[in-house]
Amino acid sequence: MDKEFAGSGASGDVSRSVWVTLRNTAENGLAGGALEFFLRTELREGTALAPASLLISWLPMPRGLAPPAEVFAEELSERRSSDHSADADVDVVDMPAGRTVRVCTATTLDHHVRIPGDAGYLHLAFSLPLSGTKSSMGNLCDAMAQSLRWVPGR
């Protein structure tokens, strides 16, 4: 983070905040069955562009036990309300990969995509600590999730 923020003019608080967010994302992902972790940082003309991360995870469950998307969305919404998590919009959306639970906060965007054969949900967890989800980077993250397709017979 020091290298990425060097000469950017961003305050030390911003750098520390981004570092904490990324560390927590990686640690929580590892504990939750993470499969992949992608991080985007770039320097352009001496200005740090907003970092973004994508954590992909899947916690397998016995076939047939994955709740329908509407039930899963309701459970997520109730859990967020009971533990006083940040304000979040929890919706069920139709994507090319199927019914998906989409959870959006100011800086995170989660897509829980139901896996064919009731094997659970693939979790795409985007974090946009500086640009936020209401930005072109947030739109890009949504587009990436929309690009997911299941290949039949594999």
pLDDT for res 9:
65
pLDDT for res 43:
42
Query: 79 φ, ψ to 5°?
Result: -65, -45
109 residue type, one letter: L
Terminal C-alpha separation, the chain: 39
- Per DSSP, helices labelled H in the chain are 2-5, 12-31, 69-82, 136-146
Please give the chain's pLDDT, 154 residues, in tens: 565 566 666 667 766 776 677 677 667 766 666 555 555 554 444 444 557 788 888 877 888 888 999 999 999 998 877 776 668 899 999 999 999 999 999 989 999 999 888 888 999 999 888 788 998 888 888 998 999 999 887 5
Instruction: For residue 132, count CB atoms less than 10 angstroms from its CB and return exposed for 0-12, middle for 13-18, buried for 19 or more.
Output: middle
Task: Tell if the pTM clears 0.75, that is, is over it.
Answer: no
Spell out the residues 6+ positions from residue 10 whose beta carbon is closer than 8 angstroms to its own: 48
Q: Across-strand partners of 38?
A: 54
Integer CA distances (angstroms), 18 to 37, 62, 85, 150, in order: 15, 36, 19, 33
pLDDT for res 112:
95
Asked if 5 and 48 count as a contact pair (C-beta separation under 8 A), the reply is yes
pLDDT for res 137:
83
